[in-house]
A and B are shown apart, each in its own frame.
Chain A
Amino acid sequence: MNRKNKLQVKYTLMSITSLTVFFLVWWLATDVLQVASANALPSPVTVIKTFITKLNNTAPDGATMVEHIGSSVIVAMTGYLVAIVIGVPMGILMAWYKPIDLFVRPLFDLLRPIPGIAWIPLMIIIFGIGLGSKVSVVFMAALIPCILNSYTGIRQTRDVHLWVGQTFGATNFQMLTQIAIPTSLPLVMTGIRVALGVSWTTIVAAELLASTRGLGFMIQQARGIFRPDIIIAGMIAIGAIGALLSWVLTIIEKKIVKGVRL
């Protein structure tokens, strides 16, 4: 037991050392030795400073970081929620009712291999650079994992469980709501989780290509004026918000899926 504790301490120390070395090398290469030019790699100190000032400073792209974050999150969440509301029931219906499967599945298979990002230019031409095009791109990207995982989830229902239901005289609809849907919930939640990551990535891509607001727009503008400190600050924000959103989803998931853990 004591030996195990000692090892644990050793590994924690190694982790701390590794992080320290990483930041130390970064700092030495930039601030101290100036190996990397400030136009390519700013020092960690500059990045942190920029991050803090940019939070409520509108220069140089006309909005504070908080506003950019708000804009990205709102657009991503709108497309994401619409995709869940449409995608999950669609996947369930496709898996449960054979005629729907026969006719909808081929169209879905046609759409599935196209990454959400590829829709961006088409949506921009149809909806303009505004909210509509970005929401619809996020929707397209998030829809696919929602449908796919709900479909697989329902298909995982054991025949034995359905037979028991039949023996006790359950109707088809009762078997769907009482047996198949509860069985599918863990996988449905997996789909919803994957879709969240996809939504967040897609909104950043959409904003990189054409936008007037948002984190993707912020880092793209910063590239144009050679401000890598803003780019890295923006990347940190993108990573942090993505992690935060997924953490919120974990809490919701624990509330909803109380039964089996996969």
Chain B
Amino acid sequence: MNRFKDAANMQKVVAAIISILAFLIFWHVGVKYSSLSKLLPGPIEVLSSFLRSVVVPIGTATIGGHALWSLSRVFVGYAVASILGIILGVTMGWYKSVEAIFRPLFEIIRPIPPIAWIPLAILWFGLGEITKYFLIFLAALSNVTMNAYAGAKSIDPVYVGAAKMLGANDRRIFLSIVLPGSVPHIFAGLQVALSSAWATVVAAEMVRSSEGVGGVIIKGQEINNTVQILVGILAVGIIGFVLAIIMRRLETRLCAWNERGK
């Protein structure tokens, strides 16, 4: 049985290598033997300049430095949004009066995509860091809040009834049943929020920034350097991928008792 699984995995890896190689060769040949070369650099050029940028700075920092800039921005906005979103969402889902007060305000803000806040945020906070924190905060907030809200709403009333019968007070029910019961939903929200925060930091940096991976991409456009744009896109993709994996690992660790979605 185990060997069977190994063979299937082996097949997967081989197919992946073949298909990615085929794609790179196709790209290479396509660029080399057609007029596409005026617009698009070949894969070798992009990969080698990506590797070079690990040690040689692009603009103010190496690609690792730019990634750290972007990540630190994401971290600040995301952390604040997560704390606030979880509190707001769970209390909104559990206490009817909190829901009555905040839900309508939230519903007005929610349909506006965070990116549409960029011009207003720049007018309010200037072109500095606070604008970026604010945008990432907005991007993460609605995902976290909505999921925490749904989580608190999804609590099985039987548990609440049982606790009440055993004499638990309101606060106890909230802390020991509603809050832990919403954790799987909250985690789903945190995951979506992180990827949306990552997309937003790239957008915010593309509007105006000299550091960060979005800055790398937009500077590449300004100096008409397609290689640099693709290096930036590659970095954005790799970091997005790593962030998603970290979140998934964390979830299996922390929510082992509740394997959401099997």
Contact = CB atoms under 8 A, between A and B. Distances in A.
Interface of A: 7, 10-12, 14-15, 17-19, 22, 39-41, 102-107, 110-122, 124-126, 197, 200-201, 204-205, 208-209, 215-216, 219-220, 222-223, 226, 228, 231-232, 234-236, 238-240, 242-243
Interface string B1-26: 00000000001100110111001000
B20 A238 contact: no
Contacts of A111: 237
14 contacts: A15-B103, A19-B108, A40-B124, A105-B16, A107-B20, A113-B236, A117-B115, A117-B203, A124-B221, A201-B115, A208-B207, A223-B123, A226-B123, A231-B119
Nearest to A141: B199
B202 A118 contact: yes
Interface of B: 11-12, 15-16, 18-20, 23, 39-40, 96-97, 99-105, 108, 111-120, 122-124, 195, 198-199, 202-203, 206-207, 214, 217-218, 220-221, 224, 226, 229-230, 232-233, 236-241, 244
Nearest to A102: B15
B198 A115 contact: yes
A118 B233 contact: yes
A197 B112 CA distance: 10
Contacts of B112: 235-236, 238-239, 242
A122 B113 contact: no
Contacts of B203: 115, 117, 205, 208
A11 B100 contact: yes
A177 to B, nearest CB: 26
B206 A115 contact: no
Given A18-B104, A102-B12, A242-B111, A219 B19 contact: no
Contact of A12 (B100, B195, B232): B100
Contact of A114 (B99, B111, B240): B240
B19 A18 contact: no
Contacts of A119: 233
A232 B19 contact: no
B118 A208 contact: yes
B193 to A, nearest CB: 14
The main secondary structure of chain A at its interface with chain B is helix
Given A18-B101, A201-B113, A114 B233 contact: yes
Nearest to B96: A11
Contact of A228 (B115, B123, B207, B221): B123
Contacts of A18: 100-102, 104-105
Q: Which of A113, A119, A201 is most buried by chain B, counting CB atoms within 10 A of its CB?
A: A113
4 nearest interchain CB pairs? A115-B199, A113-B240, A121-B221, A102-B15
